[in-house]
Amino acid sequence: MGERGDEVQLLGFLNAVLGRTEKDRFTSVEILENKTFTPEVIGDKRSVLDVRAVLRGGTRVNVEVQLRNYRNMDKRSLFYWGKEYIKSLDEGHDYLELPDVIAVNIVDFDFPRSPNFHTSFRLREDRDPDLVLTDSLEIHFINMVKYRKLKEKDIQNDPLCRWLAWFNKGSPAELVAEVVKMDGAIMTADERMAFVTGDKEAIDAYYRRMMALSDETSARNYAIETGLARGYKKGMKKGRAEGHAEEKLEIARNALAEGASIEFIQKITGLSPEVIEKL
């Protein structure tokens, strides 16, 4: 969710955490730092994965995944919330320009000590908890230990439960398959994760899905932008001169470099799948 282009799944997850319904759900998000998550980074239990984003209206969000308990998660979360809160205010600017900041912490240890797997904190008045001082501070903790202990996981009615079923490495394969089918954002995340971790079949499926989302017009625009227009017009015709044959190969190489599927390259060049596979 930290790479630009992954906004769909990040939005889906944030709306689930924040309990946004169809009417008040966030519809746009900008990823502030373009991360590159490799299989090595994802699999490293010492690493801290974080995502910084800004939602519609200027609300800033920091999502952090912490796998080890260093006994400082409360202060750590406040520290990162504070950094995000003040960094957008230049010297001399009005305090009214300070944004609302939401911190979301996904932890793989038992914190905080609550019976609930999802806890949310704000600045409230001691004797009147309904009185909130400001909406500027909102800190969420998602306790995966507590989540795993749930006997009944309400994936039908709770979008966050669906996301955590997908996050949880110990979830049964049939449960993961079910939540992927139920939620388009989770399906996108699942395809993206399979792509990142390097499963060849998943990569092919990912590209096929991406190509299927484009109609014939966008395919032609893509061909023009990447220098494939000539191949699109000429590729299906046989008996070209040797120079044209080399041109087709060059077009195919460029298309592969851009991440196009074998089916698409075959369509615009007329090359056989075997030749494209060799490239």
CA nearest to 2, candidates 46, 39, 26, 34? 34
* The pLDDT value given to residue 92: 56
Judged by DSSP in three states, 126 sits in coil
Which pTM was predicted? Answer: 0.68
Contact criterion met (CB below 8 Å) for 46 and 15: no
Q: How far, CA to CA in Å, does 90 sit from each of 55, 56, 101, 103? A: 20, 21, 17, 21
* The pLDDT value given to residue 124: 95
Per-residue pLDDT of the chain (279 residues; tens, 9 = 90+): 888 888 999 999 999 999 987 778 888 999 987 776 666 666 665 556 789 999 988 999 999 998 888 889 999 999 999 989 988 776 557 788 889 999 999 999 999 989 999 999 999 999 999 999 999 999 999 999 999 999 889 999 999 999 999 999 899 999 999 999 999 999 999 988 877 776 566 556 555 655 555 544 455 555 555 555 555 555 545 444 445 677 788 788 877 876 778 887 888 788 888 899 888
CA nearest to 179, candidates 163, 157, 158, 202? 163
How many alpha carbons fall within 13 Å on the CB side of residue 255?
A: 32
